[in-house]
């Protein structure tokens, strides 16, 4: 498998969202896409990240972007997560981890001093033509949504 790199065409995929409708990356051509991968619904870091993206969603939309979160959680888990926290971002369910792996967001990481396999918090910024423009790997949640918005505006020249 080729490692995802800036300048490559973003691999297309289709995954179910919370209404159980299939959402495909190609559906967003003409818009920029903030595609973020996170480990698990309702954990402190993942909740903070989703809330941060939700709080800035209007600004992302005004900059011509959509924000999509992907985790291996089920649709039902996503529905509860959205309802509990009033989230506005689109969440997709990748229970088989195919897209997570395709985008390089699965691998070994340290947790509580042990090496485990899991979702590596990552964000990919895809332009309106489907090209990967920026990648954040091993994301630290604090200030990340703001960094992504800043980079989006910089790359768009707005």
Chain centroid to CA 48: how far? 14
Q: Which of 15, 46, 87, 92 is catalytic?
A: 46
133 vs 5: CA distance, rounded Å: 9
Which residue, chain included where needed, has tokens 């332009």? 127
DSSP class of residue 71? E
Block residue for tokens 């991968």: 37
User: Is 24 marked active-site?
Assistant: no
* 73 token code pair: 């959680």
| Cβ atoms of residues 22 and 92 within 8 Å | no
CB 139 within 8 A of CB 146: no
Active-site residue list: 46
């Amino acid at each position: 498998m080729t490692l995802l790199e800036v300048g490559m065409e973003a691999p297309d995929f289709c995954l179910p969202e919370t209404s159980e409708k299939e959402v495909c990356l190609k559906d967003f051509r003409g818009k920029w896409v903030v595609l973020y991968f996170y480990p698990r619904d309702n954990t402190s870091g993942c909740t903070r990240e989703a809330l941060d993206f939700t709080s800035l969603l209007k600004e992302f939309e005004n900059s011509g972007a959509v924000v999509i979160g992907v985790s291996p959680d089920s649709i039902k888990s996503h529905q509860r997560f959205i309802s509990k926290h009033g989230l506005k971002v689109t969440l997709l369910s990748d229970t088989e981890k195919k897209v997570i792996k395709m985008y390089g967001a699965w691998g070994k990481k340290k947790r509580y001093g042990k090496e485990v396999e899991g979702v590596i918090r990552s964000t990919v910024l895809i332009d309106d033509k489907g090209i990967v423009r920026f990648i954040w790997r091993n994301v630290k949640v604090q200030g990340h949504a703001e960094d992504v918005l800043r980079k989006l505006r910089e790359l768009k020249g707005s």
